[in-house]
Chain A
Amino acid sequence: MAMTFNKTAEHEWELNVCGYTCPHPQMYTKKALQKIGSGDMLTLIFDNPSSGESIQAMCEAEGSDLVDRQEGSGSFVWKIRKA
C-alpha cells in the first residue's frame, strides 16, 4: 500500500504509512511534521513497531505532544500535536 498524506479538517492531517518498514515511517513522519503548522494535529497510522520508538523520540526532541496512541493487531494509530 502506498503512503498517503491528507488534510482531513482545518489544522488536522492524516499520514498513513502502513506496509512500510524502517526508515520510511519515521522519515515520512518527520517530513509531515515539517509540513504542517504549529498546533496542528497529525494522525499517524503505521504497522512497523520499530518505527514507533524512533517517532516517539523524535516528538520528544522537537517538543511535539504525542496526545493519544491506540495499538493492537499489529497496527498503531497515534495522534501528534506539533509544537
Chain B
Amino acid sequence: MNGVATTGMASGGSWLSRKGNLQALGVFLFVVAGSLWALAQDSRFVYMLVYVWFGLAYGMLLQYGRFCMASAVRDLFAVKVPRMAVGMMIAVALYAVVAAIVTLSGFSTFHPNALGWHIVVGAAIFGFGIVFTGGCASGSLYKAVEGNMNSMLVVLAISFSQAIVVSASGWWDALVPQSWVDAAAAQDMPAELSVTKGWFDIFTAGYIWGLKGTTTAEIFGMAESAAGIVWLNTFLTAILPVAVILVALYAFYYRKAYLRRSGKVAPTLRDEFAGIWAMCTASKNTALAGIGLGILAGLHMYVTGALREHYGIFNFGELLVAMGYTNGLSIQDTVFDPGYWYITTQEAQWGGWIMQKLGIDSMDSIFFGLDNGLPNPLLNAPGFMSIGIILGASVMALSRREFKWKAPTWETAFFAIVGGTLMGIGARLAMGCNIGAFFATVTNGDPSGWIFLFGMTLGAFVGVKVFTWWMDWSAARKGGECDL
C-alpha cells in the first residue's frame, strides 16, 4: 500500500479550543470529582474506585485500539483479517506474565472455571451471537459511547437475557434432565433458594457443582510452587498456545501477502520471523492496546488482592456490610466481586435489579440469591468497572472526534437484540464471556479458556456463514445494477 493522505475534517487550533477535547476533559474531571466525593463519604469506597479507574483505562484502550474480541474471530472468517486476533494474543501473553507475578506475590484473586461441555455449548452460542451484534460485551460498551444505538441495544439485550435466563422456571425446567434435578435436590441448600425449581438453578446445582475447575499447575500437583506457576500456568497454558496461534495466523492469513509485498521469493527463517513481527505491529493502535490491556488486567488483580488483604476480606459484600449497606446482598452476604476484568455478570445484575424494581424478584435463584446478589447499581463494584469503560471510551471518542449518533434500522436493531440475547444465554451457560471465561482464565493457568475460545470460534464461523447468506439474499432481493 502506498502513502496515505490523511485529512482531518475539522480546523486546527489549540487542544482546549476543540469542543471534543473540552467534553473529554469534562468527562475525566467528572470521574475525578465523583471519586473524591465517594472517598469523602467513606474511604473504604476506594475498593470500588479501583474498579472505576481500571475500567476507565480499559475503556480508553479499547476505543484507542478498536479492541473488540468479537472481531478477533469474526473478521478472520468474514474478511480474512487477523488484526484483532493478533491483538488479543498480545494481550493474553502480557496478562499471563503479569498474572504470574501477581500469583507469586500472593495477591491473586483468580478462581478457575468448572470444566465441562457447557463451555463449548455456551461459547458457540455466544460466538454465533457476536457476529450479529457487531461487538463483544466490552466492545459493545465502548461502541455505545461512540453514539452507536445498536450497541446500546446489545448491552440491554445481554443484561436482560441473562437476568431472565438465570431466574426463569416453568416450561424452562423441561430443558434439563431429571438426573440434574435429583443431584440438585441432594445438595444441602436453604429452602428459600428452591434449587429444584428454575432450570438454571438445576443446571448449576445439579451439573456445574459436580464439575471441577483447575489450573494446569494444580493438575500436576505444583499449584503452590513457583516452577508450577511460571512453567505450567504461564508458559504451557498461555505463552506456548499464543505462540502457536500467532504462527498459525501468520501462515494462513498474513504470510502470502507479506511475502508478495516484501518481494521475497525464497524466504529464510529470518524473513519469516520478520513477517510475524510485521503482522504483530501492522496495526500499532491494536498492538499498543493489547499491551496496555494485558498489563493493566494483571495489575487490576494485584491491586484488588492487596486491598482485600488490607481490609481482611474475601468479598466486597463484607465491606458493604461493614459500611452499613446490607440491601441486595446474597444470603452469604456476598456480591459479585471477581477482583479482575469481567463484564457479563454485572450486566446481568443490572438487568436483574431493574426487573426486581418492576416487581419480578429473582433472589430465589442461585445466581443472584446465593452468589452474586442484586446490589443497587450505585454500590455494584464491577458494575462501576463497566461504567468506567463507558466513561473511558467516551473520553477517547470525544477527543478523537469520533462520536456520532447512529440510529438503528429495523435490520440492525433485530440483529442487535437477537444477537445480544444469544450472547447473554451463551455467556451464562459458559459461565462467562470472552473476558471472564477466556481472557481471565488462560492467563491464570486455567485451560478451560481455550475450550471457550474453540467454542466461540466455532460459533463465529457458523455465524459468518449465516450472515453472508443473509447479505447475499437481501442484496439479491433488492436487485438493481449496483447490487452487491
Contacts and interface: CB of A to CB of B under 8 A. Distances in A.
Nearest to B62: A50
Interface stretch (B158-166, B239-247, B401-409): B401-409
Interface string B91-104: 00000000000000
A63 B1 contact: yes
Contacts of A9: none
Given A60-B282, A63-B257, A67-B2, A7 B79 contact: no
Contacts of A66: 1, 4
B174 interface: no
Which size bracket describes the interface of A in this complex?
35 or more
Given A6-B482, A32-B484, A73-B401, A21 B4 contact: no
A60 B1 contact: yes
A48 B8 contact: no
Contact of B484 (A5, A23, A53): A5
A52 B147 CA distance: 16
B254 A19 contact: no
Interface in A1-52: 1-3, 5-7, 13, 18-24, 26-28, 30-32, 35, 47-50, 52
A26 B464 CA distance: 13
Nearest to A21: B134
Contacts of A1: 409
A50 B143 contact: yes
Interface string B443-466: 000000000000000000000100
Given A57-B283, A63-B257, A67-B5, A74 B402 contact: yes
A30 B81 CA distance: 11
A37 B315 CA distance: 61
A10 to B, nearest CB: 14
Nearest to A75: B404
Contacts of A21: 134-135, 143, 148, 150-151, 406, 412
Interface string B281-295: 011011000000000
B1 A74 contact: no
Given A64-B1, A74-B146, A58 B409 contact: no
B78 A23 contact: yes
A24 to B, nearest CB: 8
Given A22-B134, A72-B8, A61 B80 contact: yes
Name the residue among A13, A21, A60, A62 with the largest chain B CB count within 10 angstroms: A21
Interface stretch (B39-47, B66-74, B305-313, B372-380): B66-74
B467 interface: yes
B75 interface: yes
B300 interface: no
Given A50-B68, A61-B80, A69-B4, A5 B483 contact: yes
Contacts of B82: 57
A21 B412 CA distance: 8
A20 B78 CA distance: 16
A69 B4 CA distance: 7
A68 to B, nearest CB: 5
Contacts of B409: 1-2, 19
B9 A72 contact: yes
A7 B239 CA distance: 49
A73 B20 CA distance: 9
Interface of A: 1-3, 5-7, 13, 18-24, 26-28, 30-32, 35, 47-50, 52-54, 56-75
Given A18-B406, A49-B402, 4 more contacts: A21-B150, A53-B83, A70-B6, A75-B404
17 contacts: A7-B482, A19-B406, A19-B408, A22-B135, A23-B79, A26-B79, A27-B78, A47-B406, A48-B146, A49-B63, A57-B283, A61-B80, A61-B81, A65-B1, A68-B5, A71-B7, A74-B401
